[in-house]
Amino acid sequence: MTSTKYIFVTGGVTSSLGKGIISASLAKLLQARGFSVTIQKFDPYINVDPGTLNPYEHGECYVTDDGAETDLDLGHYERFLNVPTSQANNVTTGRIYYNVIKKEREGEFLGKTVQVVPHITDEIKNSIYKLGQTDKFDVVITELGGCVGDIESLPFIEAVRQARFELGHENAICIHLTLIPFLNAAGELKTKPTQHSVKQLLEAGIQPDILVCRTEHKLPDDLRRKVALFCNVPVDCVIEAMDAPTIYDVPLLMREEKLDQVVLSKLNFSYKKAAGLGPWTDFLSKLKNPRDKVKIAVVGKYVELQDAYKSISEAFVHAGATNQVKVKVYWISSEGITEKNVGEKLAHMSGVLVAPGFGERGLEGKINSIKYVRENNIPFFGICLGMQCATIEFARNVLKLDGANSREMNEKVINPIIDLMEDQKNITEMGGTMRLGSYDCEIKEGTKAYDVYGSTNIQERHRHRYEFNNKYLRDFEDAGMIASGINPKSGLVEIVEIKDHRWFVGAQFHPELKSTVLNPHPLFVKFVKAALDLKNETK
């Protein structure tokens, strides 16, 4: 075993307390002190991964370089740490059982009865230790989804208890995230729910080392002392986590509360230099002091739930800060956009992004939006299905190709501008079978894409089944929509753009997945810039 140390983050009282952001903030502070850190998320549901989940159920599905379809918290980890994650960083109950059942079928258990303890808990521990054994990380933070006391998280809690016992308490600590509600009628902060959730952890054999308390009001000293006494933790291990103006403020709040320092002393780490968060605070100051603002519409079909487009909205935050403008995003449902009302719906927008998605619902609204911005020279950015729609719109309205569509929407399509490639035709299983993960893309010089990337060789992440049909490429290019990014191995079209438009770019991949605080994605940065230029021109 390596010298890696482990931090487990559990949650109590209620879900949605922001374990992902607290974990990412702590990781950021440790990273700023020179430690290499990774964060892992356990999800207690039975799906093998969230790839088959509807975005309404689970929010965005975040894709890693190695093609894993994962929980959206991994997006936060990457945005905060600027370090890629992988399949090993997201493990569900479904995957654990899948692995164990596979081993059972292969006879690996040598005739033994296969049980939750020890076989499932061993598999969980293996997936924790696997990250630590790579020698790459000083610290592995493992976040447990759900709340203590949930039936489905029991095996994970038991695995954490065993891991702490095996590793020793100076090598493995538990941070419990809890809520201290304020009762208006009583005019008081209440600690009882926290006491109860810590009791539940104790029943499972885990004494938390640190309590991070979400609260809407400052915690007075006497209340901190009370929580400390009733929950068996030193008073400096009761950390206040007030609501923050943005998620990017949380590392600084946690630094003020000395969360990183108590963690390091609990783990017996000798202190390294104080956290250097210079570039992070520069970003925050640009974010908070915009010089201008710009309105951008995101046209999609899951707009009621913005978690469905988490990485897109964060990429706009990064790109806004880089341009020092406030990007005001208007989430517009594609279903309600008709040829008649499109002008009204998109009036006052300085840019329009058409979002990724699956299936036919809302497709025509996306196409109507694209026709409008193409004809009115308004900056356009299409991502994945958004790019596919841009090519369909161009085929229908510029090339005048009858019935142009994607095979996904109509199996008997006459002009399949977007089609299934050979290797996708015989696939019957849905999970993990799309074109997933990082692929090379070659950028043509002298194009907008080249202006954006400043390089001819890039890598971007994919998550789709259908592709642009190269049979039509010649006609598209002759009419002014060119392929400015191509996969060098397969020849598949990865980026399209319109030559004589101020900024009209469609990407078959998902650039939003690679935008981080320290590396805002250049496509978002330049799109926001184009929108800002339009706004200032028409003032």
Binding site for ligand GLN (CB under 6 A): 356-358, 384-385, 408, 463-466
**How near is the Cβ of 386 to ligand GLN at its closest, in Å?**
7
Residue placing its CB nearer to ligand GLN in the complex, 79 or 462: 462
For the CB of residue 496, give the shortest distance to ligand GLN in the complex, in Å: 14
Beta carbons of 119 and 155 less than 8 angstroms apart: no
Considering only CA atoms, which of 19, 23, 14, 10 is closest in space to residue 179? 14
Give the three-state DSSP class for 307: helix
Q: Which CB atom, from 66 or from 249, has the smaller least distance to ligand GLN?
A: 66
At a CB cut-off of 8 Å and minimum separation 6, what does 144 contact?
8, 9, 10, 11, 19, 42, 44, 153, 156, 157, 160
Cis peptide before 416 (omega within 30 of 0): no
Catalytic amino acids?
384, 510, 512
- Alpha helices per DSSP H over 419-468: 422-425, 448-453
What is the smallest separation between the CB atom of 167 and ligand GLN, expressed in angstroms?
40
CB of 416 to ligand GLN, least distance (A): 12
| Position 228, amino acid | A
H or E, element range at 388: helix 385-397
In this complex, which beta carbon is closest to ligand GLN, that of residue 384 or of residue 495?
Answer: 384
Amino acid making up residue 180: I
- CA angle at residue 358 from 357 to 359, to 5 degrees? 135
CB nearer to ligand GLN: give 83 or 305.
Answer: 305
Q: Decide: helix, strand or coil at residue 189.
A: strand
Report which of 169, 166, 147 is spatially closest to residue 156, judged by C-alpha positions.
147
Q: How far is the CB of 486 from ligand GLN (least distance, A)?
A: 17
What is the distance between the alpha carbons of residues 324 and 314, in angstroms, rounded to a whole number? Answer: 15
Q: Are 522 and 474 in contact (CB under 8 A)?
A: no
Closer CB to ligand GLN, 195 or 490, in the complex = 490
